[in-house]
A and B are shown apart, each in its own frame.
Chain A
Amino acid sequence: EDQVTQSPEALRLQEGESSSLNCSYTVSGLRGLFWYRQDPGKGPEFLFTLYSAGEEKEKERLKATLTKKESFLHITAPKPEDSATYLCAVGSWGGSQGNLIFGKGTKLSVKP
């Protein structure tokens, strides 16, 4: 069964304190791994897609990496405006084609 597990559930950082969020996955053929940001009361906002192990993508203070079993979202020198819930999702070539399997998310709080 396709599954996504994110850790930690919640993370509190001081402004400028770098850290990483983890996304572990099991899928029957990875079609893609997706990172989203979700602010309270809003829909998920697309950040990155990763397709193969070893791939990396960056956007401002965020960098996403991918291995065969997990993905990391590295946050460098975060600012309070980076506070949000970060969702990881996988697309599978297996039984659930056409949809994304989401984790429960990591709620990030960055204090000034």
Chain B
Amino acid sequence: QVQLVESGGGVVQPGRSLRLSCAASGFTFSSYGIHWVRQAPGKGLEWVAVIWNDGVNKYYADSVKGRFTISRDNSRNTAHLQMNSLRVDDTAMYFCARDPEVHDSSGTRFDSWGQGTLVTVSS
């Protein structure tokens, strides 16, 4: 069955870095775009970043642009989110989600999600 498993979260001081991973199984990983979505405690969902199937196209929310980098390794069925210069307001549960039509403005959607990994930025 489709599985997305996030890891790499933890407690980190402001200004430091963290690298999240998203391990996929149960589907053809290279056929899907991968998004990262975050949710601050008690708040709503916020889209963070996306990488297309082939890893060439990447897009970021303004709130993380220049600090976060999304990547993927299709040979290992894994995606990553490198988070630098972390701020207190980056504290959130981070989910990865797959997108079967990431290139299609009408078809793009988050059709399967992982369980999330918690990132806490605190001094």
Does chain A bind chain B? no
Residues of A within 8 A of B (CB): none
Residues of B within 8 A of A (CB): none
